[in-house]
Amino acid sequence: MAEEDKNQVEASDEVAEDAAEPAAPSEPEPAGSADEAEQPADDEVAEEAVEPTEEAAEPEAAEEQPAAAEEPAVDEAEADLDPKARRRLERSRASGPPGPVRTPDERATGRASKRRASAERRRRYRTAQRAKRGEAGSGTPAAAREPGPKKVRRGTVVSAGGDKTITVEIAVVRRHPTYEKVVRRTSRLHAHDETNQAQEGDVVRVVESRPLSRTKRWRLLEVLEKAR
């Protein structure tokens, strides 16, 4: 064991001596090789000089893109305008020499002349359209119509308080078609009495007529029996 330790110590001392010896000077490299070694450095400098230019160009392109994106928005806003507002906007954008200075009376005269010219154009256009259509025809002739017989009812006056108006109650007595039972019903209507000759309790005959008021569709024909 002692001999193995001694051999290991001697080996480590030899390694330390070899490391302490100075390295032999290397042969000088030719000049061409030095230029070749420096060439990559020049390329790196050129790349560094180009990169900032590209980075500076990128913000400009970014600035141009929003401007291009904003143009359709302006067109859409103009498309939403009504025709009158669009014409006003086009006149405001028009470039040219200013017109002559006119007084309010001259402007009013000019507007009146424009209106007369527009009316004349409309008149000529309508005349031409009527000429294209031709003269108006007679159309479909009216159908022959004969008035039917008017309804006549008999009833008793239950109210004559209104002026030229009476309320007539009509009693209807009928046999039921299924149960064979006599069914009595009454209905009331308003009739027109021009001379106020009918009184309450009279038996009268009324005839239908055109609408004379909101509720009157009948007219007094004659008084059959006077009230007692």
> 152-225 — its CATH code?
2.40.50.140
C-alpha distances in Å from residue 103, one per residue of 100, 108, 124: 10, 9, 32
Query: Nearest CA to 213 among 171, 153, 157, 166?
Result: 166
Q: What pLDDT does residue 88 have?
A: 87
Coil vs helix vs strand at 80: coil
Backbone dihedral angles phi then psi of residue 162, each to the nearest 5 degrees: -75, 160
Q: What pLDDT does residue 45 have?
A: 45
Number of neighbours of residue 212 by Cβ within 10 angstroms: 15
pTM for this model (two decimals): 0.39
Q: What pLDDT does residue 157 have?
A: 97
Contact 86, 74 (CB under 8 A): no
Q: What pLDDT does residue 4 have?
A: 57
Q: What pLDDT does residue 186 have?
A: 96
**C-alpha span between 91 and 94 (Å, rounded):** 5
Q: What pLDDT does residue 74 have?
A: 53
Q: What pLDDT does residue 140 have?
A: 79
Residues of the chain scoring pLDDT < 50? 1, 19-20, 22-26, 28, 30-38, 40-42, 45-47, 49-57, 59, 61-62, 66-72
Q: What pLDDT does residue 41 have?
A: 47
**C-alpha span between 92 and 191 (Å, rounded):** 72
In the chain, where the domains are located? 152-225
Q: Please report which helix (H) or strand (E) contains residue 34, including its range.
A: helix 31-79
Q: What pLDDT does residue 150 have?
A: 94
